Amino acid sequence: MKQSKMIEVLKSKFPDINLVPGDNHYWSPKERNVYFKRDDSTLESTWSLLHETGHALLNHIHYFTDIELLTMEMDAWEKAKNLATELDIEIDDDHIQDCLDSYRDWLHKRSLCPDCFLSGIQINTSTYSCIFCHKKWKVSSERFCRPYRRKTL
């Protein structure tokens, strides 16, 4: 299905969700907009549009822990698969797992203790703690940046 047709179908099915052309695919809960790449009719773009629409339909607004973000991503992909079935589209499971792997890798890197390099646990939105050596470290709130780990006392 061409992107323009997909957008028409989604707008018709979900009039309360704004579909807005942009430079990337993403869901903005503050604006209630699903942004999509303009003039991109690839299968991957269609899948991403369905995924971001899944976030909107699930009313994903914010998360408090990294694992909660990963869960939201999994739920949005599941919703995208349901939407795809309704629209007679198949989303490649390998593509979904590749996308989820990027979040899993990000989460794993953030959770590694800067001292002993074992996985710690998240104790609040920006702090992890190592259950082995008892170090604590801060992580950035940004999802799309390198996962820096700064030691705390």
In the sheet that holds 26-28, the strands lie side by side as 18-22, 33-37, 26-28
pTM: 0.89
What is the rounded CA–CA span in Å between residue 76 and residue 56?
9
Query: What is the architecture, at CATH level 2, of domain 3-111?
Result: Orthogonal Bundle (1.10)
**Hey, where are the domains in the chain?**
3-111, 113-153
Per-residue pLDDT of the chain (153 residues; tens, 9 = 90+): 788 889 999 999 999 999 999 999 999 999 999 999 987 889 999 999 999 999 999 999 999 999 999 999 999 999 999 999 999 999 999 999 999 999 999 999 999 999 999 999 999 999 999 999 999 999 987 765 544 445 554
What is the rounded CA–CA span in Å between residue 113 and residue 124?
15
Q: Is 80 in contact with 51 (CB distance < 8 Å)? A: yes
